[in-house]
Structure 1
Amino acid sequence: MRLTNWRLSPGGETFAYGGDEVELSVWNTEAAFAKRPEDKLSNETKKRKRGDQLLPGEIWRAKNVPHDGLSLRQPVKNTSLAYLQPAGSTSHCHILAGTQQGNVRRYDTRAARRPVADWKGIAKIGGISTIEKGHDEHEAFVADHGCNLFALDLRNGRVSYGYRGLAGSVMSMAPSPSFLASVSQDRFLRLHSTFPPPAQAGSQQEQKGNVVDKQFMKTNPTVIVWDQFTGHLGDARVDSDTEDGADDAVWDAMQNVEDVDEEEEGGQKRKRGRKPSHLVP
């Protein structure tokens, strides 16, 4: 057993974790870290006989998916977690879980202990490395242990589009309203364009995302976080337009080199065509 991912809910009321042979589990943050008397702890330990019984502070625990076609138990390999939306209550959460098998599972803690959707084969190489909820509805971003980064439609589990130009596995992502930032093992921080899923589920995605900028990092980055600040974006665009306009004015005022050369050549030809005055009869 090994814990591989821990995620705090957007409001901080709950947190979730999962890992190798560790089922997805949701906890009440306040109750989980509340101090309890020692005698009460010993009594709770004695009463807890079944492995699926919830621990103090634990409000929900997932159940493994059914056996495969050969009636063999499927291993629990949770690699990444993401809350889909702010929970209406501490007992109701929507969570995405990526697995080492390359699957993406969607859980509704109010509906069932098993996933309400299990999309298989999303990852191409080495399973899911990281997963994040996008800012648009029904949108999530998924990366594997290869060089693949996808936008996923949560209505049907289909890949809307993928990003090209990555030379390393994505370690962390930070979605914002306009862009997606990522860091990868090739030591690059990349800024990706994003587009919302089609209005109708199953329709063809017309616009594709791409890498709009990248910056090489001196050390290997492992985590990236958006600071939730967007006030500078509009000012930055205005400043950029002003600077571009000033640059254009400077370039327009400059004389073309070819025009100068042509004028110089014309003047030399005229000078060569004139004869000295003392040679005229």
Structure 2
Amino acid sequence: MATMEYNVFVGSETGLLKAANCAEEKWNNLNTLEDVKKDNEICCMCWGSSQQEKVYFAQRNQLIKVYNILSGEICEEIELNAGEGKFKNIAVFDQQILTALDSGIVNLWNNKGESELEIKTGDKLSCMRQNFFKRNLVATGGKENPLKLWDINKPTEPIFTSKNVPHDWLNLRVPIHVMSIGFIPKSEKIVTGTGYHQVRVYDPSTYQRRPVLNVTFDEYPITALTVCPNGNQVIVGNTQGNMTKIDLRKGNVACRYKGFAGGIKDLQCHPTLPYVASCSLDRFLRIHHMDLKHIMHKFYMKSRLNCLLLSKKWPTIDDEGGSPTDVSKEKIDDMSDALWDKLPVLGSKEQLPSGKMQKTKKRKLATKELPKQKMKKSVC
């Protein structure tokens, strides 16, 4: 029996690895119900290589499992002894696994589960992100732990450390809390989302260590962030369930996405298509169109979701080779035309029923007599 081709992989709090097929609008659990435990909570995920044949996912009990997409089963388990703390993110560098704990320790592990490298990034680590274009660069940040850029080949000290913004108008220190990080493609800039609802852009190539752009979004902590493929916009989500696209060129809100009922945990844009996938605490996996803003696919997955992984493979919508954007526009136009066709035409009085004709005549007579009555009362 051939395995189903999945487009999105999702990790849940219960320890179940889930996957959705957007062409058939179906989703499945990829591991058994015996794995449903609190210690098996899936904290983060990553691809094993650019071919996207294996999915690495890290659990709360510091066990990393590898799911083989071709065989449709978990093919490997790696037990780590990283210390106290919860995984914040994992990545793959030179066929080795890079992990980050909330205690601030970043390790590089070999296939035998032995630590080859250890970096102390600071206490209360909230996020770690690997540069997709330069795999040796890693950015970290957390609560009272500023943004730092590390080179794995030279891990003795960070190559860039951000500086806090100036004091506010009351001359009070602005607290630091980096909750999400993203790398802007075709540049050295880094964008961050903070726990104090700010989106900031840093440029390590310049002498300035403070952010070159600082945008305030909503009033709630930003829990998820993803950079659009063009590098000009960033999509952020917060604890209130608000997802918004922010234009980094103008520093304002470009558009808002609707349909959420819980805090957003993870976001990821498709590398070639105008789609963005999101998972939230309301147990839904949603896939929005970045430009048209409507929901393309929606899956209720019965568990609170922590993280997701978007595949390059996507179902073809138009068999003739049309782009998905054009097809989606045509679908919207057809839906709107069908809606207008269902509405009754009220262009002339002859098309109205006899009962409605009499009511409209009475209303017109009443409106004509109303000013005269008011005039008489005012004269008296």
Same fold (TM over 0.5): yes
Structure 1 residue aligned with 2:285: 189
Aligned counterparts of 2:231 and 2:196: Cα–Cα separation in 1: 26
**CA distance in structure 2 between the partners assigned to 1:209 and 1:136 by the alignment:** 17
DSSP-derived class of the 1:6 partner: strand
**Alpha-carbon distance in structure 2 between the residues aligned to 1:65 and 1:137:** 24
Aligned pair partner of 1:210 in 291, 294, 300: 294
**For 1:188 and 1:211, how far apart are their aligned partners in 2?**
12
Query: What is the correspondence of 1:33-52 to structure 2 with a 5 Å cutoff?
Result: none
Kindly report which structure 2 residues correspond to 1:253-264, keeping only aligned pairs within 5 A, or say none: none
Counterparts of 1:119 and 1:143, CA distance in 2: 14
Structural mapping, 1:208-247, within 5 Å: 208-230=292-314, 233-234=315-316, 237-238=318-319
Q: Does the 8 A contact of 2:238 with 2:263 survive in 1? A: yes
Name the residue aligned to 1:84.
184
Unpaired segments ≥5 residues, structure 1: 33-55, 88-92, 196-207, 242-281
Indicate yes or no: 2:215 matched with 1:119: yes
Pick from 265, 269, 280: which aligns with 1:175? Answer: 269
CA separation in 1, counterparts of 2:173 and 2:231?
Answer: 34
CA contact (8 A) 1:123 1:143 kept: no
Q: Which amino acid aligns with 1:2?
A: K
- Equivalent pair of 2:191/2:201 in contact (CA under 8 Å): yes
Q: 1:103 aligns with which of 189, 194, 198?
A: 198
In the alignment, is residue 15 of structure 1 matched against residue 110 of structure 2? no
Aligned to 1:24: 147
Identify, as 1 or 2, the structure richer in strand.
Answer: 2
In the alignment, is the contact (CA less than 8 A) between 1:96 and 1:106 conserved in 2? yes
User: Which residue of 2 is the match for residue 49 of structure 1?
Assistant: none
Q: Which residue of 2 aligns with 1:68?
A: 168
TM-score w.r.t. the length of structure 2 is 0.49
Report the equivalent of 2:240: 146
Alpha-carbon distance in 2 for matches of 1:175, 1:16:
19
- Contact 1:190/1:211 (CA < 8 Å) preserved in 2? yes
Q: Indicate if the aligned counterparts of 1:29 and 1:57 stay in contact, CA closer than 8 A.
A: no
CA deviation after TM superposition for structure 1 residue 99, in Å: 1.0
Aligned twin of 1:259: none
In structure 1, give the amino acid aligned to 2:307: V
Q: Is the 8 A contact 2:185 2:230 kept in 1?
A: no
Number of the residue aligned with 2:225: 131
Contact in 2 for aligned 1:82/1:96 (Cα 8 Å): yes
Output the TM-score relative to the length of structure 1: 0.66
Partner of 2:311: helix, strand, or coil?
coil
Any idea what the Cα deviations from partners look like across 1:230-271, whole Å, max 9, x if unmatched? Answer: 4xx33x5429x9xxxxxxxxxxxxxxxxxxxxxxxxxxxxxx
| Residue 86 of structure 1: how far off its partner (Å) | 4.8
Relative distance call for 1:80 and 1:137 in structure 2 (3 A) is: closer
> How many pairs does the alignment contain?
196
Residues 141-183 of structure 1, C-alpha deviation per residue, up to 9 Å, x if partnerless?
Answer: 0111101000111101211111111111111112112311111
Instruction: Supply the distance in 2 between the matched residues of 1:63 and 1:25 (Cα, whole angstroms).
Output: 10
Indicate conservation of the 8 Å contact 1:94/1:106, yes or no: yes
Please report how far the alpha carbon of residue 229 of structure 1 lies from its aligned counterpart in structure 2 after TM superposition. Answer: 3.0
Matched, 1:4 2:110: no
Maintained 8 Å contact 1:9/1:86: no
Give the distance between the partners of 1:123 and 1:78, measured in 2 at CA.
16
Give how far 1:189 is off. Answer: 0.5
Query: Would the aligned equivalents of 2:136 and 2:153 in 1 still touch at CA under 8 Å?
Result: yes
- Off by >2 Å, runs of 4+ in structure 1: 227-230, 236-239
| 1:158 alignment counterpart | 252
Question: Share of identical aligned residues, percent?
Answer: 28
Q: Tell me, in whole angstroms, the C-alpha distance in 1 between the residues paired with 2:251 and 2:163.
A: 21
Which structure has more helix as a fraction of its residues? 1
Long gaps (5+) in structure 2: 1-122, 323-380
